[in-house]
Amino acid sequence: MPEYESVIGLETHIQLNTKSKIFCGCKADSWEDLPNTNICPVCTGLPGVLPTLNNAVVEKAVILALAMNADSVQPISYFARKNYFYPDLPKGYQISQYNEPLAVGGHIDIPLPKGGIRRIQIEKLHIEEDAGKTVRDNGKRLIDFNRCGVPLVEMVTGPDFRSADEAAQYLIRLRQLLRWIGISNADMERGQLRCDANVSIRPIGSTDLHTKTEIKNVNSIENVRAAINVEVRRQIREVEAGRKIESWTLDWDETTETVRKMRSKESEADYRYFREPDLLPIQIEGGWIREIKKALPELPLARRARFVEQYELPEYDAEILTEEKSLSEYLESALSTFDGDPKVVSNWMINDLMRMIREKDILAGDLTIQPGQLAELIQMVETKEITGSTGKELLEKVQESGKDPKIIVETEDLGQVSDEVALRQIAKNVITQNPDQVATYKGGKSTVIGWFVGQIMRETKGKANAQLVQSILRELLDKA
């Protein structure tokens, strides 16, 4: 039995986060609206209406084209009608782009979990409108037109993935990139990032592919991974049994974790594409592209590499701190006022700040505690003005109140106690009150010293200088 490899390409539909829809003034995001309340004659395709192109859609699409290193953002591209009959498509056609799309060629690099980078070729990027939604309800089919005319870009990759894991990795990176450049919220559960996977197999070493199938409507990255794995196994079983793989469109069923045949795949001819007569071509001037390029932020992989280079952070830290743009900006802003090893700030962010961010389900940029305040707080721990545990509490207090760490430390008297006389007195009391523990220590179990440190920390509300306490305790216990 030959070994097989899978050859996978992804088509993603990305919902742009513009205020209004692509061809009318209805708002684009109606996730929370009642069905059919965010519609007008244009997006429901009533007779006699004309579409007007939303400029913000083109701008956001160009931003993405530049971020995916497009070989060319076409100076002129055209809309086309993609004709098909489906209840949630009221016009009977979708306004899309066909053989003259907005951008052609390009690539997105994805770091692989085992190291190294895989370059995924992007074949094309085009603009189109979304269709409505069909909702199943007790055996009835209901239609919600709210989503009609929501702006989408469709991105098609080359057949460059060799495993479901690589495809999943790509989606993680794409989602990161889309949020980073601010053109889409890319929430898969809300359908803002949708993925169809073209899957085929071939014996390893061969260039002859078996027929491919397309899996549609997969609504999470984990499901994309699972669906591709299931489909690859199904195709191998078919081929091994001497059957031919049919060119099907498949539906992923999340509950049974199986793929189901939806229909035989349409061919291009079925769509009877022709140029959209109601819209002018999109003309993009070089000057505008240069302007957009200038405003493009440093992209995640470049920033990650720079964090390693400039701040000497470990790859691991740099990776985590560039997961999201405002987090990476938070780090840099904190470092700009911090005097010391950047790794210390990185640790605080990864261990403490990010926990806070996750708990509150916000972005770093939405925190009350400002980067400068975090830097000040860490500085106080580093210079031993406060203890590490006071620092952690202080973090919460600054986040709650917005007050500067120094002020809170002063007004609440949180400064580290390094007063040797006072600490010695507390240590003496603890020792005389606990003869059993002293005996244990004397009996050779020196780890019990940690228990004594804990008692003193309790007495001082965590403010005692732990190193000093240790040395005082050792001295007193050895004499006891």
Q: How far is the CB of 13 from Mn ion (least distance, A)?
A: 6
The 121-150 site mask, x for binding Zn ion (CB under 5 A), equals ------------------------------
Structure tokens at 468: 């000093």
Q: How do 103-104 and 213-218 pair as beta strands? A: unpaired
Specify whether the CB–CB gap between 34 and 135 falls below 8 A.
Answer: no
How far is residue 400 CA from its own chain's centroid? 27
Q: Does 24 bind Zn ion (CB under 5 A)?
A: yes
3-state SS class at 349: helix
Partner whose binding site includes residue 24, from Mn ion, Zn ion, none (CB under 5 to 8 Å by kind)? Zn ion
Residue with tokens 């045949």: 261
Q: How far is the CB of 127 from Zn ion (least distance, A)?
A: 17
**Could you give the residue ranges of the DSSP H alpha helices within 266-387?**
286-295, 300-311, 315-321, 325-336, 342-348, 354-360, 371-382
Specify whether the CB–CB gap between 5 and 122 falls below 8 A.
Answer: no
Q: How do 80-83 and 117-129 pair as beta strands? A: unpaired
Specify whether the CB–CB gap between 166 and 117 falls below 8 A.
Answer: no
Q: Which residue is nearest to Mn ion (CB)?
A: 154
Partner whose binding site includes residue 363, from Zn ion, Mn ion, none (CB under 5 to 8 Å by kind)? none
**What strand order describes the sheet that includes 80-83?**
93-96, 80-83, 274-275
Going by C-alpha positions, the residue among 407, 477, 405 that lies closest to residue 444 is 477
| C-beta closer to Mn ion: residue 154 or 376 | 154
| C-beta closer to Zn ion: residue 40 or 363 | 40
| C-beta closer to Zn ion: residue 26 or 318 | 26
Q: How far is the CB of 39 from Zn ion (least distance, A)?
A: 6
| C-beta closer to Mn ion: residue 79 or 307 | 79
Q: CA–CA separation, 99 vs 110, rounded Å?
A: 27
Q: Does 68 bind Zn ion (CB under 5 A)?
A: no
Cβ-based neighbours of 325, under 8 Å, separated by 6 or more: 179, 180, 297, 300
| C-beta closer to Mn ion: residue 94 or 390 | 94
Which residues contact Mn ion (rule: CB under 5 A)? 154
Partner whose binding site includes residue 26, from Mn ion, Zn ion, none (CB under 5 to 8 Å by kind)? Zn ion
Q: Does 40 bind Zn ion (CB under 5 A)?
A: yes
| C-beta closer to Zn ion: residue 2 or 92 | 92
Partner whose binding site includes residue 472, from Zn ion, Mn ion, none (CB under 5 to 8 Å by kind)? none
Q: How far is the CB of 55 from Zn ion (least distance, A)?
A: 16
User: Which region among 19-27, 252-260, 303-311, 444-452 touches Zn ion (by CB under 5 A)?
Assistant: 19-27
Specify whether the CB–CB gap between 167 and 198 falls below 8 A.
Answer: no
User: Which region among 26-34, 108-116, 163-171, 340-348 touches Zn ion (by CB under 5 A)?
Assistant: 26-34
| C-beta closer to Mn ion: residue 84 or 316 | 84
| C-beta closer to Zn ion: residue 46 or 296 | 46
CA-only gyration radius of the chain, Å: 30
User: Which region among 22-30, 56-64, 185-193, 354-362 touches Zn ion (by CB under 5 A)?
Assistant: 22-30
- Taking 3-state DSSP, the helix, strand and coil percentages for the chain, each rounded to the nearest 5, stand at 40, 20, 35
Partner whose binding site includes residue 49, from Zn ion, Mn ion, none (CB under 5 to 8 Å by kind)? none
Q: How far is the CB of 128 from Mn ion (least distance, A)?
A: 5
| C-beta closer to Zn ion: residue 39 or 167 | 39
Partner whose binding site includes residue 154, from Mn ion, Zn ion, none (CB under 5 to 8 Å by kind)? Mn ion
Quick one: DSSP state of residue 188? G
Q: How far is the CB of 154 from Mn ion (least distance, A)?
A: 4
Q: How far is the CB of 25 from Zn ion (least distance, A)?
A: 7
Q: Annotate 35-57 with b (16+ C-beta within 10 A) or e (fewer).
A: beebbbebbbbeeebebebbebb
Number of residues engaging Zn ion in binding (CB under 5 A): 5
CA distances (Å), origin 461, targets 107, 169, 398, 427, 454: 56, 46, 18, 14, 10
Q: How far is the CB of 9 from Mn ion (least distance, A)?
A: 14
Number of residues in the chain? 480
Q: CA–CA separation, 388 vs 400, rounded Å?
A: 19
Partner whose binding site includes residue 56, from Mn ion, Zn ion, none (CB under 5 to 8 Å by kind)? none
| C-beta closer to Mn ion: residue 123 or 165 | 123
**Residues of this chain, 262-321, that bind Zn ion according to CB under 5 A:** none
Q: Which residues bind Zn ion (CB under 5 A)?
A: 24, 26, 40, 42-43
